[in-house]
Chain A
């Protein structure tokens, strides 16, 4: 038996953290969530799998487009044309009441809002039971695993589909059908196909408890390879194998500088050093970190002004490189303040303590905080520290600026 485990397709949801890019690249970026799933369907057909599991979050409810739905139906139809059934549960992003009324092809089996078990018989006669459920609301706090049945005796393979997060024990966070691995193992299934966490990972080897991750990362925190799991039976075990498909990969590169003196040298150096960090067939979105202390003040300033990034991007575009630098940041070796001879150090640190606080930041942001996306950033625990770092950098830089005038 052979099947594909995927999920968190997030079809057509936007890429975060990008600003300027060539149109061609945008097109590629835009197509990537589609392309990733299409590759999975290609693989399913090519591998002649018995079925495909999709563990939730096919769409973002907030970013649900006609194109996405149409595309998904079309791809399911491709599977249908090859007689490959699809087992699908909806997750916290595409939660919905499951009804008999579906616009999807008939080979798609959608799990109910309550845990249910679906059966199928493989061509070799083996019987497979698949248990799962679909979200009917954004948050599911209750223990859904308790609703999963014990392994059936008269079947050959029992698979659990679960879109959720490992229980943290913090009620404020356990909103996604919280579970524990041991709880899952106690059901003695042959495979647990998990969804929700976008970084693919194996929580338990045998029986396998696996997060498939999203097939296409959508921001820098979803870096590295993304793809699906091809699960094959070996004897009485199901062995998952990760297969990357993401057409675009997010990478972070920390580059050390070889005493570049001119901006052109720096750009060439970066192009040379970074090469293509992505998997074959994938395009890399690269965030570059430059150690600030390795740069001259002038270059540093150019970096901060964004001109180096722009030139690097131009270079990538001109050379049609398979990667794109979307961010170029300075990395300070030390976060010490520049020397302030005139003012005692104690005034600075005392002031910093009072200025760099969430309250201050929120007060400053004022009505900016009315924008949810800004509010999200403002609520980031790291923000204040990062802002202090930036401010320190800025003041240090400010001194340098004056030297020039």
Chain B
């Protein structure tokens, strides 16, 4: 392709401007800001599209400031035909129209044929030389190399396009680090699905687990069902036992408590009890007897004193003494004190009657007679002495009778008669003495103090009085005698017999005799009683001993020692019998089996505890069973849900489907990638054939440019190396900047030369080679001239020396 003319409608500073590039090479000269770069960019923009407002080329849009139409056209020559490429403002780099000389439109792809696989950057990398274009530029060495290779397979535009398209399609399908591509998305989905699947797969484990639970629960249920009757039976049994427990407890207590060690028949016991009663009676009797004996002994002891003894020994003496005393007493009683008293009282009465004391002696009978003669008065009362004397006689007589003593009786009788006679005589004498001489008489006889008339009458009294006096005197004399006798007798009396008077003494003595006699008799009787009682005591004691022996024998039978113990035994036995009755009642309520079973429990609490345990076991059984039923129902529902829940199979199918999709996409992607590789590799193979030519050409340029300092370029897997005239090898990095630039220029030029047969594009040089020294610059110019023979070369420069260059010049300074 050769650019013949450039027409700018509006681009940067240029508007409606034409340039002619028909000459080759053409130098475009202009000072800074003259529009060189704008023009160069215009050419690139028409070929590769306007720069958009983005990226590194955003300042290369060159939109006209004055609002004139943007764009313009290139008229080019391709294979001898002239075409006009027009680009106006539009999307994607502007609207392109291509017309041939006849104004016929050509397809846009025609432009691709012209520029080959190149884009703006690649074109600049290869065909454009300038300060900014060299290795420091964005396109690095590797890219350049790659592009060189690809471009090297000339005629491959279509394939490269195809490759790019495939790459795009492939990228749309999958990028290893992508996010939005279908494969990536599907793989992500796939991962998620796998996660869900794993979860769903657990459902199976769950199902199996549930089924196993069902199985285990079912067997548990069966086991529980089998156990339940046992549990119930156990509860019933224990309840039964619990009901029996009080009975059992009593029974057991009875068993332990009332075991009589010694049995004794009721008959024997009756015997024993009879014996005991008898014994008691005997003992009571014995005691009574002993008491009697004691009492008697005491009495005996009381009776058996000295007096009794004495009495016993002197009984006769004492009796005689008594008789004597009695006799004496009788005598003394004849001197009766009563009589005496009567006498004395009579005396007193007489005295009182005469108010004189003592009274004169009575007149004897003569005197009395005398007196009586004197006075004719006689006195009476001769009977009293007789009577008194008689009384004594009678008394004696009676006593004599009483003591059967004839002597006494006779004596008494004599006395009585004598007494009477004696007394009658005496009285008669006294009365006769008093009769004559009253006065003298009176005086003689002491009767003067008394009226004479009373002399006679009074004589009786005086007599009586005298009698009385005599009698009293006699009585006193008798009494003294008797007393004397009495005293004698009294001496013989036991000392202790006392008495206030003699009578009392006698009485006491008599009483004592009676008493002592009585005592003696009593003592005798006591002695008899005592011996009788004592004999009885012995008898009783014998009986007691016998009974006690018998009882003892019985007691021994039941191992007791006495009645107390025996009665205790009996009480125990009675209790035992009572207990035995109760026990038997209890016993009837308890079967042997009950007892055996009950015996296993220490106490009711133990049994209760067991019962509670049994209840609990049964309850637990039932509860477990119910729980299992519930659980089973729940499990069955869960299992049913699991079974009906098709999630897992659905997910599996989804997974399978997704695998299919992913594989189809992956396969498609692989197909794209392989196709790309296939193309690229084919292109590489094709371009590889051109490398030697490119390198050979480049070597020539490089040798020329370096003034033959370097002779060889090596292009291999390790990159680019050069060899100098001393056969020294250098890496590109080891070269000086200028030399490196020259190397790449040489390589690019070599490449341009070699592919010129397939792709000829204008070479644009924008103030290039500034780093070259004068010599090299000249050499470069020579090379460019050489190139221009075959290819269009456009040289943009501000260097006025270029004007001297043998080439056509467009002076931009003049265009304005």
- On A, residues with C-beta under 8 Å from B are 12-20, 26, 29-30, 63-71, 101, 103, 340-344, 347-348, 350-352, 354-356, 360-361, 364-368, 371, 373-374, 377, 387-388, 390-391, 394-395, 398-399, 401-402, 405
Contact = CB atoms under 8 A, between A and B. Distances in A.
A390 B679 CA distance: 14
A399 to B, nearest CB: 8
Nearest to A352: B678
A343 B686 contact: yes
B655 A14 contact: yes
Given A351-B681, A356-B678, A67 B649 contact: yes
Contacts of A342: 154-156, 158-159
A101 B156 CA distance: 72
Given A65-B648, A70-B639, A351-B681, A371 B674 contact: no
A139 B151 CA distance: 56
A111 B45 CA distance: 83
Contact of B656 (A14, A68, A394, A405): A14
A90 B158 CA distance: 60
Interface stretch (B80-88, B203-211, B619-627, B784-792): B203-211
Given A364-B674, A387-B671, A398-B166, A343 B655 contact: no
25 contacts: A12-B652, A13-B652, A14-B649, A18-B660, A19-B660, A19-B661, A30-B649, A30-B653, A66-B207, A67-B648, A70-B643, A103-B211, A103-B215, A340-B159, A343-B155, A347-B686, A368-B174, A371-B662, A374-B666, A391-B675, A394-B675, A395-B679, A398-B165, A399-B162, A402-B161
B670 interface: yes
B683 A343 contact: yes
Contacts of B673: 364
Interface in B778-801: none
Nearest to B654: A14
Contacts of A70: 207, 639, 642-643
Interface in B621-676: 639, 642-646, 648-650, 652-653, 655-657, 659-664, 666-668, 670-675
A387 B212 contact: no
Interface in B183-227: 183, 187, 190, 201, 203-204, 206-208, 211-212, 215
Given A65-B648, A66-B639, A352-B678, A390 B653 contact: no
A371 B187 contact: yes
Contact of A398 (B162, B201, B650, B681): B162
B685 interface: yes
Contacts of B678: 348, 351-352, 355-356, 391, 395
Contact of A343 (B664, B667, B682): B682
Contact of B674 (A17, A347, A361): A361
A24 B806 CA distance: 85
Given A26-B653, A355-B677, A365-B666, A395 B162 contact: yes
Contacts of A387: 667, 670-671, 674
Contacts of B671: 387, 390-391, 394
Interface residues of B, number: 63
Contacts of A69: 204, 207-208, 211
B204 A355 contact: no
B55 interface: no
Contact of A360 (B207, B664, B674, B679): B674
A365 B670 contact: yes
Interface centre among B158, B208, B649, B668 (most CB of A within 10 A): B649
Contacts of B660: 16-19
Contact of B649 (A12, A20, A355): A12
A366 B176 contact: yes
Nearest to A395: B675
A156 B427 CA distance: 199
Contacts of A395: 162, 675, 678-679
B682 A350 contact: yes
A371 B211 CA distance: 34
Contacts of B642: 66-67, 70
A101 B214 CA distance: 13
Closest 9 CB pairs of A and B: A66-B207, A342-B155, A14-B656, A351-B681, A351-B682, A14-B652, A70-B643, A391-B675, A347-B682
A66 B656 contact: no
B153 interface: yes
Contacts of B161: 402
A14 B158 contact: no
B639 A394 contact: no
Interface of B: 109, 153-156, 158-159, 161-162, 165-166, 174, 176, 183, 187, 190, 201, 203-204, 206-208, 211-212, 215, 639, 642-646, 648-650, 652-653, 655-657, 659-664, 666-668, 670-675, 677-679, 681-686
A114 B686 CA distance: 65
A30 B645 CA distance: 13
The dominant DSSP class at the B interface is helix
A343 B153 contact: yes
A374 B212 contact: no
A39 B644 CA distance: 20
Nearest to A367: B176
A377 B653 contact: no
A336 to B, nearest CB: 14
A103 B176 CA distance: 47
Nearest to A353: B681
B394 to A, nearest CB: 161
Given A356-B674, A368-B666, A67 B685 contact: no
B171 to A, nearest CB: 13
A74 to B, nearest CB: 9
Given A14-B657, A16-B660, A70-B643, 5 more contacts: A19-B660, A373-B662, A390-B667, A395-B162, A402-B158
B294 to A, nearest CB: 109
A65 B656 contact: no
A340 B165 CA distance: 17
B204 to A, nearest CB: 5
B159 A374 contact: no
Contacts of B176: 366-367
Nearest to A27: B646
Contacts of B675: 391, 394-395, 398
A399 B644 CA distance: 53
Contacts of A351: 677-679, 681-682, 684-685
Contacts of A360: 674, 677
B190 A371 contact: yes
A374 B183 CA distance: 12
Contacts of B663: 373-374, 377
Contacts of A15: 653, 656
A29 B682 contact: no
B158 A373 contact: no
A16 B677 CA distance: 31
B681 A355 contact: yes
A67 to B, nearest CB: 5
Nearest to B176: A366
A30 B650 CA distance: 8
Nearest to A384: B674
A65 B644 CA distance: 11
A83 B364 CA distance: 193
A65 B677 contact: no
B159 A350 contact: no
A331 B212 CA distance: 54
A394 B166 contact: yes
Nearest to A373: B659
B437 to A, nearest CB: 193
A18 B207 contact: no
A66 B206 contact: yes
A65 B655 CA distance: 15
Contacts of B652: 12-14, 63, 65
Contacts of A65: 203-204, 207, 648-649, 652
A26 B650 CA distance: 9
B359 to A, nearest CB: 174
Contacts of A364: 670, 673-674, 677
